[in-house]
Structure 1
Amino acid sequence: MLRRSFFYIMPALILAGCGGTGQNAASDPAVLTVAATAVPHAEILEHVRPVLAKKGVKLDIRVFNDYVQPNLQVEQGAIKVSYFETGPYLDEFNRANNTTLKAIAGIHIEPLGAYSRKWKSLDQLPIGATVAIPNEPSNGGRALRLLQKAGLVRLKQPDNPLSTIHDVVANPRKLVFRELESATLPRTLGEVDLALINTNYALDAKLNPTRDALAIEDSKSPYVNFVVGKPGAEADPRVQKLVAALRSDDVKRFMAERYKGAVLPAS
């Protein structure tokens, strides 16, 4: 199957704008605009909103349902920073789009998991099982590495974060791969034998990663979620206050209580 580039799909629908006033927010020096996906990123941002308000920063949270438009709007200057993506994804996005976005601070890890509505364990997967994985390089490679760790496939370069289905050199169960947009993967669970789903979309679909995943990354996962901005954004006092709030012990407790191990603070 040919790989479709995730970076050139149709623009995402902006699901909601929380706490902002559009053009007025952009011109207010006290306002910090942040792009995020709904769960858990926007929820975590909502948690720190009162803390930042006390420090003179008004959060304008822009919620998106994909990974492309947030970065494009940060690059264009319409939004100050984003909070949703991993380092490998950011690196690939910059290469594909000739952008220079920068990882400012690592905040948390969302272990990617393998889910099924048809089977209760990976051992039950039949020969020729259909497996849905993200259709963009970093998360697709991440999914394949998890399948490799579970013993289902072997990759040409086991540690390559951008491995594709063409790099699978051993596939004893003859798994058939479907590459789909990350946001759509939870909706495919009734149609495929297994789907590799990012935790933010799993949580949004009311899946419990620690209970429902048949395989899941551990706390040693290199896929940390970062606050990202254009070069120089890290010197903005508003961004510095945001990072401090997101890295606080209070947020670590919030993650532990709300997500029950599905979202882990970055070390």
Structure 2
Amino acid sequence: MTDSLFRRFALALFLIVGLAGTASAETIKVGVTGGPHAEIFEQVAKLAAKDGIDVKVLEFDDYQLPNAALVNGDLDANSFQHQPFLDAQVQDRGYPLTSIARTVIFPIGLYSRKIKSLADLKDGDKIAIPNDPTNGGRVLLLLQSKGLVKLRADAGIKATQLDIIDNPKKLKIIELPAAQLPRSLDDVTISAINTNYAMEVGLKPDRDALVLESQDSPYANIIAVRTADKDKPVFAKLVRIYQSPEIKSFIKERFGSAVVPAF
């Protein structure tokens, strides 16, 4: 074989191998909300690239859109919600979605720019809570645990304001989209803010929250996919990477006790 022919053969072989490698790479689009979810998945994407998985991280600023986008095929997975939220959306909207892994727990907190302690609450003060059923109920249970309201005994995690049977201080509870709660701090006495949104505006849960939800909360966040896709090998790889020691260490070092690994 001549030198020239050998070089052409080697180049052709290189191109074939390169194209085969490109073809074997898998791309998955994962929807997240901003803050810790996005930061964690950016780290997951870096590790996944070493496994031949191209993870595209797409940020949303709303709790309703990521599941709709997943159902519509605009996403392959999402990571922004806890299990009760997904359960409620599956029940209410018939979404064919399934959880494939637990990720982290964000203890929800009560924040204020007007008072330093719950003891400073006055009659008729305003409290802003998330307007989605599961997080709204979650906050009502937190308020009940602090003696601010009393709920019907059977209210459970789907409690609404209709389940309040005692409100000694006649607190005015205002429901807002979760992403808007940090902006409500100037207008209400207390705002119940999910940790990811609190951290986006520079709040530090350990330092700034009047009250933080217990870290044994049942509200572990999850990775969700379409039910028909739940057994795809690429998702088993994604879960293994997310629940790896490297990601657990990143979460602990980056967020401290404000974000708790749930695996």
TM-score relative to the length of structure 2: 0.88
The equivalent of 1:266 in structure 2 is: 262
| 1:232 alignment partner, one of 228, 233, 236 | 228
CA contact (8 A) 1:145 1:158 kept: no
Of 166, 169, 180, which aligns to 2:165? Answer: 169
Alpha-carbon distance change, 152 to 56 in structure 1, aligned in 2, over 3 angstroms = same
Is 1:137–2:133 an aligned residue pair?
yes
Amino acid at match of 2:143: L
Residue 235 of structure 1, CA deviation: 1.6
CA RMSD of aligned residues (A): 1.5
Contact 2:25 2:54 in 1 (8 A): no
Question: Which SS does the other structure have where 1:79 is aligned?
Answer: coil
Whichever residue aligns with residue 227 of structure 1, its letter is I
Residue 221 of structure 1 corresponds to which residue in structure 2? Answer: 217
Paired with 1:92 and 1:242, the residues of 2 have a C-alpha distance of 25
Q: Distance in 1 between matches of 2:66 and 2:220?
A: 17
Letter in 2 for 1:72: A
Cα separation, 2, equivalents of 1:227 and 1:75: 14
Q: Percent identical across equivalent pairs?
A: 41
User: Contact 1:145–1:159 (CA<8 Å) still a contact in 2?
Assistant: no
Which of the pair has more CA radius of gyration?
Answer: 2
Instruction: Please report how far the alpha carbon of residue 211 of structure 1 lies from its aligned counterpart in structure 2 after TM superposition.
Output: 1.0
2:34 and 2:238 mapped to 1: Cα distance?
18
Q: In the alignment, which residue of structure 2 is the partner of 1:149?
A: 145
Select 2:110's aligned residue among 114, 118, 138: 114
* Matched AA of 1:48: V
Matched, 1:69 2:65: yes
Indicate conservation of the 8 Å contact 2:45/2:56, yes or no.
no
Q: Distance in 1 between matches of 2:237 and 2:245?
A: 14
**Structure 1 runs (4+) greater than 4 angstroms displaced:** none
Q: Which has the higher helix share?
A: 2
Given candidates 82, 85, 90, the residue that maps to 1:86 is: 82
| 3-state SS, counterpart of residue 189 of structure 1 | helix
Number of residue pairs the alignment of both structures matches: 241
Shift of 1:96: 2.1
Tell me which amino acid in the other structure corresponds to 1:77.
Answer: G
Confirm or deny: 8 A CA contact 2:129 2:191 kept in the other structure: yes
Letter in 1 for 2:189: D
Equivalent residue runs for 1:196-207 within 5 Å: 196-207=192-203
The two structures have a TM-score, normalised by structure 1, of: 0.87
Whether the aligned pair in 2 keeps the contact of 1:37 and 1:63 (CA below 8 Å) is: yes
In structure 2, what is the equivalent of residue 211 of structure 1? Answer: 207
Partner of 1:235, secondary structure, is coil
- Partners of 1:242 and 1:122 lie apart in 2 by 42
**Secondary structure, aligned partner of 2:148:** coil
